[in-house]
Amino acid sequence: MSKSTKSDLAQGAVQAMSAETGQPEQTVYLNGEFMPLSEARIPVLDRGFIFGDGVYDVVPAYRGVPFRWPQHLARLKRSLGKVRIENPLDDRGWTDVVTELLVRHRWDDQFVYLHVTRGVARRDHQFPAEGVRPTVFAMSSEFKPVSRQAIEKGVSAITLPDERWLHCDIKSTSLLGNVLARQTAADAGALECLMFRDDFLTEGSSSNIWVVLDGKLLAPPRDTLILEGIRYGLLEELTRSRGVPFEIRRIRRAEVVSADELMVTSATKEILPITTLDGKPVGTGVPGPVYRELFAAYQEGKAKSHEKGWPPPA
Among residues 142, 162, 194, which one ends one of the domains? 142
Residues 6+ apart with CB under 8 A from 266: 204, 206, 207, 208, 229, 231
Q: Is 90 helix (H, G, I), strand (E, B) or coil?
A: coil
Q: Are residues 11 and 31 in the same domain?
A: yes
**How does the average pLDDT of the chain come out, rounded?**
92
Q: Are residues 136 and 160 in the same domain?
A: no
Show which residues are catalytic: 171
Among residues 95, 117, 142, which one ends one of the domains? 142
Task: Confirm whether 309 is domain-assigned.
Answer: no
Q: Are residues 232 and 172 in the same domain?
A: yes
pLDDT tens readout for residues 225-240: 999 999 989 999 999 9
Domain span at 289 = 148-302
Residues 6+ apart with CB under 8 A from 190: 155, 156, 157, 158, 276
Q: Are residues 178 and 135 in the same domain?
A: no
Number of domains, the chain: 2
pLDDT tens readout for residues 160-209: 999 999 999 999 999 999 999 999 999 999 999 999 999 999 999 999 99
CA-closest candidate to residue 30, choices 70, 88, 103: 88
Task: Confirm whether 194 is domain-assigned.
Answer: yes
Task: Confirm whether 275 is domain-assigned.
Answer: yes
Q: Are residues 69 and 158 in the same domain?
A: no
Instruction: Check: CB of residue 139 under 8 Å from CB of residue 101.
Output: yes
Beta bridge partners of 292: none
Q: Are residues 130 and 11 in the same domain?
A: yes
Among residues 89, 121, 142, which one ends one of the domains? 142
Greatest distance between any 2 Cα atoms in the chain: 59
Q: At what angle do helices 3-15 and 91-104 cross, to 10 degrees?
A: 50
Q: Are residues 8 and 116 in the same domain?
A: yes
Would you say residue 10 has pLDDT above 80?
no
Q: How many residues does the chain have?
A: 314
Name the burial class of residue 245, with classes exposed (0-12), middle (13-18) and buried (19+) by CB atoms within 10 angstroms of its CB.
middle
Q: Are residues 158 and 90 in the same domain?
A: no
The CATH number given to whatever domain includes residue 107 is 3.30.470.10
Beta bridge partners of 33: 30
Model confidence band, residue 269 (pLDDT cutoffs 50, 70, 90): very high
Which region among 22-36, 64-78, 205-219 has the lowest average model confidence (pLDDT)? 22-36
Task: Confirm whether 313 is domain-assigned.
Answer: no
CA-closest candidate to residue 268, choices 193, 196, 192, 188: 192
How far, rounded to the nearest angstrom, does the alpha carbon of residue 250 sit from its chain's CA centroid? 23
The CATH number given to whatever domain includes residue 233 is 3.20.10.10
Instruction: Check: CB of residue 150 under 8 Å from CB of residue 276.
Output: no
pTM > 0.85: yes or no:
yes
Task: Confirm whether 9 is domain-assigned.
Answer: yes
